[in-house]
């Protein structure tokens, strides 16, 4: 049986530009909040608020690893849906990576993240000096 309540809650959660941006990030792999903060150039409190909506609607799930919390897409069907909405992930970008690529989590130097953000035309912020 189709759960119409659940499906409409999913679509409500999708209907927001920043939440779509978070999902676009997460379809490339797991990420922590500080990574999203840098990538999206938004405050952590704001991102956490949007993540809560995404979790409550069942689109995103959280995994605790020691002190870190990694967020990821809750199920594989979401990848197909996001591809319909946002198009395919540009070639060369990772898909379904385990573990966040940011410096806090240990993989990608923060300078590279910032450089990539500038390449995408996002405005620099105070976080650039981190």
Chain residues in the site for Zn ion (CB under 5 A): 32, 35, 100, 102, 104-105
| CA 30 to each of CA 8, 9, 13, 23, 64: distance values in angstroms, whole numbers, following the listed order | 25, 23, 19, 10, 12
Nearest approach, Cβ of 32 to Zn ion (angstroms)? 3
* Contact (Cβ atoms closer than 8 angstroms) between residue 34 and residue 102: yes
Nearest approach, Cβ of 86 to Zn ion (angstroms)? 22
Closest-by-Cβ residue to Zn ion is: 100
* Contact (Cβ atoms closer than 8 angstroms) between residue 71 and residue 40: no
Q: Which is nearer to Zn ion, 6 or 43 (CB)?
A: 43
Q: Which is nearer to Zn ion, 9 or 105 (CB)?
A: 105
Nearest approach, Cβ of 51 to Zn ion (angstroms)? 13
Nearest approach, Cβ of 46 to Zn ion (angstroms)? 17
Cα separation, 110 vs 55, whole angstroms: 27
Q: Which is nearer to Zn ion, 10 or 35 (CB)?
A: 35
Q: Which residues contact 12 (CB under 8 A, 6 or more apart)?
A: 57
């Amino acid at each position: 049986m189709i759960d119409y309540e659940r499906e409409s809650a999913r679509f409500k959660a999708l209907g927001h530009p920043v939440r779509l941006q978070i999902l676009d990030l997460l379809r490339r792999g797991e990420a922590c909040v500080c990574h999203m903060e840098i990538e999206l150039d938004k405050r952590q409190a704001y991102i956490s608020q949007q993540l809560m909506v995404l979790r409550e609607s069942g689109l995103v799930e959280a995994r605790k690893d020691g002190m870190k919390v990694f967020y990821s897409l809750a199920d594989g069907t979401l990848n197909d849906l996001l591809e319909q909405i946002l198009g395919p992930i540009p070639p060369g970008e990772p898909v379904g990576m385990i573990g966040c690529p940011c410096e806090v989590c240990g993989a990608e130097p923060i300078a590279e993240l910032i450089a990539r953000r500038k390449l995408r035309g996002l405005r620099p912020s105070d976080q650039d000096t981190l």
